[in-house]
Amino acid sequence: MSESSARARALSGDTATEITTGPIVGSTKVYLPVPPPGTTPDGAAPTVLAVPARRIQLTNGEHLDVYDTSGPYTEGTETEPARPDVRAGLSRLRASWRVPDAAPTDRGTARTQLAWARAGVVTDEMRFVAAREGVDVELVRSEVARGRAVIPANRNHPEQEPMIIGKKFAVKINANIGNSAVTSSIEEEVEKMVWAARWGADTLMDLSTGKQIHETREWILRNAPIPVGTVPIYQALEKVKGDPAALTWEVYRDTVVEQAEQGVDYMTVHAGVLLRYVPLTARRVTGIVSRGGSIMAAWCLAHHRESFLYEHFEELCEILAAYDVTFSLGDGLRPGSIADANDAAQLAELRTLGELTQVAKSHGVQVMIEGPGHVPMHKIAENVRLEEEWCDEAPFYTLGPLATDIAPAYDHITSAIGAAMIAQAGTAMLCYVTPKEHLGLPDRDDVKVGVITYKIAAHSADLAKGHPRAQERDDALSKARFEFRWTDQFNLALDPDTARAFHDETLPAEPAKTAHFCSMCGPKFCSMRISADVRAYAEEHGLTSVEAIEAGMAEKSEEFVDAGGRVYLPVASS
Amino acid sequence: MSESSARARALSGDTATEITTGPIVGSTKVYLPVPPPGTTPDGAAPTVLAVPARRIQLTNGEHLDVYDTSGPYTEGTETEPARPDVRAGLSRLRASWRVPDAAPTDRGTARTQLAWARAGVVTDEMRFVAAREGVDVELVRSEVARGRAVIPANRNHPEQEPMIIGKKFAVKINANIGNSAVTSSIEEEVEKMVWAARWGADTLMDLSTGKQIHETREWILRNAPIPVGTVPIYQALEKVKGDPAALTWEVYRDTVVEQAEQGVDYMTVHAGVLLRYVPLTARRVTGIVSRGGSIMAAWCLAHHRESFLYEHFEELCEILAAYDVTFSLGDGLRPGSIADANDAAQLAELRTLGELTQVAKSHGVQVMIEGPGHVPMHKIAENVRLEEEWCDEAPFYTLGPLATDIAPAYDHITSAIGAAMIAQAGTAMLCYVTPKEHLGLPDRDDVKVGVITYKIAAHSADLAKGHPRAQERDDALSKARFEFRWTDQFNLALDPDTARAFHDETLPAEPAKTAHFCSMCGPKFCSMRISADVRAYAEEHGLTSVEAIEAGMAEKSEEFVDAGGRVYLPVASS
């Protein structure tokens, strides 16, 4: 019901694109004011900032505000949802924010969050993400300066609401979308972005290929409230008609400039696939499974030359620094199977990524490091340990990893196991995996399942790491569950619509949502109900300590039997 | 297609019950001979045994045999599936097996696997499970003797194919089924059992309540190829019309005898919920969430007496010893939320379960220990450590645990994360959780998703623990994936039907199943394809070591460009 009413039809020009808008059921979009800084460096008035949040209204009068990635699309009400004009794009939130002077780097000056953080400058982006995370802004600045966190925010993507990726902050998740040679359209891709952000994607990677790659990306960027990442070599390969051997530094460079100009916030660059590492993959069970990695391996072999990405890496840094595009150093040799995990090829590349991290940072360019892939549980922590040691604790950004290979069609689950564990160990962002992984293209439902599954993994890690806000939501939901506030339980869930639908399959009537039992046990056997009675009885009689209960309870037990005796609710079973 | 053809209609008497039969697609049921023992104690001819396996046939002429729990239902072919008579029940496999003389225990003698193992007797059940696991029979005997593994096999359930639960063996999973006061029928419950076993449930717990509880259980037991567990207090409570305060030892005892007579293989007994522990739950976020635990808590409070289960525990041991029913000592005070994990109530009960474990074993009764529940990741390992320390390493059998509370409708996933981790830490059996947990009654699809999800968790743990056979299947599937043997990839998957269906959504045509690309990247960008080309090229030119590739490859790179150059397949994109 709420889903259908929330799907407004945003008409723009002659293209009718259906964009999902309106609040998530039970919630309203709010903007919380950010405290102004004590002073600004030049004494100017500080920018007025407000961070988005989703306010979940509870039936007991309380509310819970949760981190929100959905952008302006969830403004309005169920009956009067937001009606964005996708052709015009989102408002340019950051256009009026302060841009500090260029800050010094080892190789000159740069206008990047890293360079500013190192120079002690607190940017509006840092203030925004600090308020969004509920942490002190100095923690943000110092982690960015240390290179242990990044704020991917291309100056040409002013529409985005800044966010931070780093192990000291909430674990983030990325959703991939992209048309392919086989199916899908531009309009579908924009809606997929809105849809992924709605359910909690913190960033989006546009992996589109094909003829309309530039236009698709433009639509996505102008409408994206979240940072957008790309893999520029895909478009570069299009430009040389799909022939890896025909790739050149110049074609690649021009592609990076084109995408940086459009506003791409971070780029995957497979600069660690070196010529001498390629043979290390020859005896693998699954060879090279990264598209970018295999393209670069093919180029290296064809030319018997070192990777042009590696050889021109400093020039690449200069381009990225000019826009404050963040590097996502790709793991082109990541394992594609349990058998290949943590092998020589993977680890050789990781060492090279560590070397490139130093080069990028010396140019003031922010860096994160991509990680696997397919890794059995006992080899997961080692990935984080080596990444932190070799890459100077640059934020780790991993795909899963899948903890087993034997469950295609359930790889969102096989990978959520690995993702939760690697995030607990320190990974800062998790790239989602959908149920269609290895099998086909994810549709709308798959994208949602992938995002929700990864929110579970990320949140589980936040709990395990003791993130200060994480347990609030667990406690609120469990309290609602114990008190039979069904509606609150649904609305506090990551996916209220599905939770409600599952409940209604068995007990569809509206009164069941206030019933003090559920369909699993029926009215007579409800442990929650019995437990509530036990608690009420114990508290009423002061039996809240071992001492109290041991101090003569015989007469009280008689009262308990007299006062109702049967602790289940005398509701007739249907 | 295979699903519908596999659903035979087993007509029995005047009741038409639809039971799912016939092989899983791509597989055939085989029975592998068990080597006879060197000698039998009395010189008699050894029982001829054969263990069931599922043989997955591959298109390259190879096959892989995997552990199989599905029973005779998967015999036959797709077109001529098995047609069991559910009214007659399965054949009584173990009826002809050797029953050794009673072996001495601390309190007399017993005919249990534990008593025999301690006396050095190798039973047919031990031989069977050793062959089924692919381990030496002495490992089985010694682990059972040590109390670190159990073989739940009531002598009155001869239909079952024995299995072993212990940390040195493959991690097992349990599926729960049960009618409820609100919905479902006996026929549905039997089919749910067959369905759960088909997809890999190692044991089944029948949690039925209501008027037909005895008859439902009889149908399930007579048709179950896997061990069946129950929670006798549910039926005992029925007998006193749902009033916990009216429960007595005598009613409970008679219920246990009734169920043991029927052939129940293991029973959950909440004998650790002591009077003095009840107040420890009063300030919890979610109180007591175990049905059995809340019933016993209510009884203790109502009578202000110690639990009759605790006080009569030795008599209970005598009954269970007589049938070789295994104890599953229930965690009636398990945490029902992240907030309550590892709290005083939970740990107090666990210590008492340790005490009861010693008592049970002194009677020759096999024991496992139930565990939580809801536990954040950083508190999971502690549960295993304490259980092993306090309960003398009796097999741990946990429900999940759920790593977060915030995702009702996805609790198969929240709990698979915890389940995989706790199994890696040493838990021997995992009780599944379906997507309907906390919300409603699982239907057929939910049962399947729950079982597959838990097979993933269990298998991931087997890999992490280095179980000797585990990685064979990962390697076979990954090899098939790399070689574009799509059909083999599907058939090696835990759920071949869904894997195939997901693939066919995007690329439905039959030729796509032999295509050297897939829908994710399309023909031009396939990394697997490029990687295969890289490998072929590297091997052809002897470039399989770092030395070789560094030793002058310039001329060879020219050959590579000449010999096709473009490493993608020149298939026209659609």
State the pLDDT confidence band at A572, using cuts at 50, 70 and 90.
very low
> Which chain A residue has its CA at the smallest distance from B287's CA?
A531
Residue A351 annotated in ligand binding: no
The whole-angstrom separation of Cα A451 and Cα B499 is: 20
Inter-residue contact B410 to A494 (CB < 8 Å): yes
The residue to which tokens 């929700």 are assigned:
A452
What number is the average pLDDT over the span B397-414? Answer: 98
Over the stretch A19-54, which tens digit does the pLDDT of each residue have? 999 999 999 999 999 988 766 666 677 889 999 999
Domain residue spans of chain B: 170-468, 516-573
Cβ <8 Å between B285 and A533: no
The nearest CA of chain B is from the CA of A141 a distance in Å of 28
Using CA atoms, how far apart are residues A452 and A460, in angstroms rounded to an integer?
12
Top residue of A520, A559, A569 to mutate, by most chain B CBs within 10 Å, is A520
pLDDT of residue B545: 57
Q: Model confidence over B503-533: pLDDT tens digits?
A: 988 766 655 565 555 555 555 556 666 667 6
Instruction: Find the distance separating the first CA and the last CA of chain A, reported in whole Å.
Output: 27
Is residue B282 scored above 90 in pLDDT? no
Q: Which of B404, B440, B475 sits opposite A507 (nearest CB)?
A: B440
The pLDDT, as a whole number, for residue A412 is 98
Query: DSSP 3-state helix, strand, coil percentages of chain A (rounded to 5)?
Result: 45, 15, 40
Answer whether A548 touches B (CB < 8 Å).
yes
State whether the Cα torsion A430-A434-A435-A437 is positive or negative. Answer: negative
Rounded Cα–Cα distance for residues A156 and A268 (Å): 18
Q: Please report, as a single letter, which amino acid is at residue A281.
A: T
Contact B302 A403 (CB under 8 A): no
Beta B326-329 vs A326-329: how paired, if at all?
Answer: unpaired
How do residues A505-519 score in pLDDT, each as one tens digit? 876 666 556 555 555
- pLDDT higher than 50, residue A467: yes
In whole numbers, what is the pLDDT of chain A averaged over residues? 88
pTM of the entire predicted model: 0.92
Query: Which residues sit opposite B402 in a β-bridge?
Result: B374
Going by the DSSP 8-state scheme, the letter that residue A402 receives in this structure is B
Q: Which residues contact B96 (CB under 8 A, 6 or more apart)?
A: B47
Tens of pLDDT, residues A380-399: 999 999 999 999 999 999 99
Beta-bridged to residue B18, according to DSSP, are: B9
Of B405, B408, B525, the CB nearest to A499: B408
Q: Which of A367, A364, A394 is nearest to A115 (CA)?
A: A364
B454 closest CA partner among B476, B429, B473: B429
* Residue B570: exposure state from Cβ atoms within 10 A (0-12, 13-18, ≥19): exposed
Given a cut of 70, whether residue A10 has pLDDT beyond it is: no
Q: Does A166 touch chain B (CB under 8 A)?
A: no
Asked if pLDDT for residue A454 goes beyond 90, the answer is yes
Is A438 annotated in a binding site? The answer is yes
A357: left (phi over 0), alpha (psi -120 to 50) or beta: alpha
Selecting from B503, B505, B567 the residue whose C-beta is nearest the C-beta of A244 gives: B567
- pLDDT at res. B486: 93
* Residue B275, token pair as written in the block: 């009077």
**Angstrom distance (rounded) from CA B358 to CA B114:** 13
Identify the CA nearest to A301 among candidates B555, B540, B560: B560
Distance CA B385, CA B102 (A): 34
Residue A559 has a pLDDT of 47
Contact with chain A for residue B551, Cβ under 8 A = no
Residues with Cβ within 8 Å of residue A510, at least 6 apart in sequence? none
**Burial, B407: exposed, middle or buried (Cβ in 10 Å; 0-12, 13-18, 19+)?**
buried
Within 8 A of B565 by CB-CB distance, chain A residues are 243, 245, 302
What end-to-end distance do the CA atoms of chain B give, in Å?
27
Contacts of A289 in chain B (CB under 8 A): 527-528, 531
**A215 labelled as ligand-binding?**
no
Q: Find the CB nearest B304 among A279, A288, A553.
A: A553
DSSP B201-215: -SEEEE---STTHHH
What value does the mean pLDDT take over residues B233-258?
Answer: 95
Residue type, A65: D
Cβ B91 vs Cβ B519: under 8 Å: no
Token pair in block for residue A482: 């114990």
B557, closest residue in chain A (CA to CA): A302
Distance from CA of A241 to the nearest CA of B (A): 9
* Residues 6 or more apart in contact with residue B170 via CB below 8 angstroms: B67, B133, B458, B462, B467, B469, B470
Can you tell me the mean pLDDT for B407-424? 98
Half-sphere exposure of A300 (CA within 13 A, CB side): 29
Confidence band for A94, pLDDT divided at 50, 70 and 90: very high
User: Is B157 labelled as part of a ligand binding site?
Assistant: no
Question: Taking a C-beta distance cutoff of 8 angstroms, is the pair A451, A420 a contact?
Answer: no
Sorting pLDDT into bands at 50, 70 and 90, what band is B563? very low
Confidence at A537, pLDDT banded by 50, 70, 90? low
Identify the weakest region by mean pLDDT among A158-167, B48-57, B76-85, B511-520. Answer: B511-520
**pLDDT (average), residues B36-56:** 82
A35 or A174, which is more confident?
Answer: A174
Q: Residue A569 above 50 pLDDT?
A: no
Q: What pLDDT is stored for residue B39 in this prediction?
A: 61
What residues contact A135, with CB distance under 8 A and at least 6 apart?
A: A168, A169, A468
- Residue B526 is predicted with a pLDDT of 62
Cβ atoms of A457 and A423 within 8 Å: the answer is: yes
What class is the A170-468 domain? alpha beta
pLDDT in tens, B112-170: 999 999 999 999 999 999 999 999 999 999 999 999 999 999 999 999 999 999 999 99
Which 3 state secondary structure label does DSSP give B387? helix
pLDDT of residue A212: 82
Q: What phi, psi does B168 have (nearest 5°)?
A: -85, -5
Q: How confident is the model over A239-252, as a mean pLDDT?
A: 94
Number of helices (H) and strands (E) in chain A: give both, helices first: 21, 17
What's the confidence (pLDDT) of residue A562?
46
- What is the rounded average pLDDT of the residues A398-404? 98
CA–CA distance, A521 with A5 (Å, rounded to integer): 34
Question: Chain B closest CA to A107's CA: distance in Å?
Answer: 33
The predicted structure's pLDDT at residue B35 = 82
How far is residue A517 CA from its own chain's centroid? 35
Q: Rounded mean pLDDT of chain B?
A: 88
Q: How confident is the model at residue A282 (pLDDT cuts 50, 70, 90)?
A: confident
Q: Are A18 and A1 in contact (CB under 8 A)?
A: no
Residues A298 and B569: their CA atoms lie apart, in Å, by 13
Identity of the amino acid at B573: S
**Distance between CA atoms of residues B144 and B165, nearest Å:** 9
More confident residue, B210 or B39: B210
pLDDT of residue A524 exceeding 80, the answer is no
A207-231 tens-digit pLDDT: 987 778 898 899 999 999 999 999 9
pLDDT at B190: 83
pLDDT given at position B443: 87
Bigger pLDDT: B572 vs A295: A295
Q: What mean pLDDT is predicted for residues A149-167?
A: 98
Rounded (10°) CA dihedral B508, B510, B513, B516: -100
Cβ distance A369 to B441 under 8 Å?
no
The answer to whether A115 and A105 are in contact (CB under 8 A) is yes
User: Could you say which DSSP state residue B15 is in?
Assistant: E
CB burial of residue B211 (10 Å; 0-12, 13-18, 19+): exposed
Interface residue B475 vs chain A (CB under 8 A): yes
B549 against A20, higher pLDDT: A20
| pLDDT classification of B6: cutoffs 50, 70, 90 | very low
Is residue B169 a contact partner of residue B136, using CB atoms and an 8 Å limit? no
Three-state secondary structure string covering B256-323: HHHHHHHCCCEEEECCCCCHHHHHHHCCCCCCCCCHHHHHHHHHHHHHCCCCHHHHCHHHHHHHHHHH
Across the interface, do A474 and B404 touch by the CB < 8 Å criterion? yes
Q: CA A518 to CA A502: how far, in whole Å?
A: 12
A223 and A86 in contact (C-beta within 8 Å)? Answer: yes
Tokens encoding B234: 């549910």
Distance CA B359, CA B147 (A): 12
State both tokens at A109. 């000056």
- Location of structure tokens 């998957």: B493
pLDDT in tens, B308-352: 999 999 999 999 999 999 999 999 999 999 999 999 999 999 999
Give strand pairing partners of A17: A10
Instruction: Tell me what the mean pLDDT of segment A77-98 comes to.
Output: 92
The whole-angstrom separation of Cα A290 and Cα A279 is: 15
A186 vs B189: CA distance, rounded Å: 48
Alpha helices in B438-513 (DSSP H): 444-465, 470-482, 486-492, 496-506
A333 labeled part of a ligand binding site: yes
Angle, alpha carbons A89-A90-A93 (nearest 5°): 140
Q: Write out the E strands in B333-438.
A: 367-371, 396-399, 429-431
Q: In this structure, what token pair is assigned to residue A139?
A: 């923690």
- Residues B95-121 have a mean pLDDT of 96
What is the model's pLDDT at position A527?
65
Instruction: Supply A541's token pair.
Output: 């009689």
Using a 10 angstrom Cβ sphere, with 0-12 exposed, 13-18 middle and 19 or more buried, the burial of residue A453 is buried
The label of the residue with tokens 């389940």 reads: B419
**Quick one: tokens of A310?**
């590696």
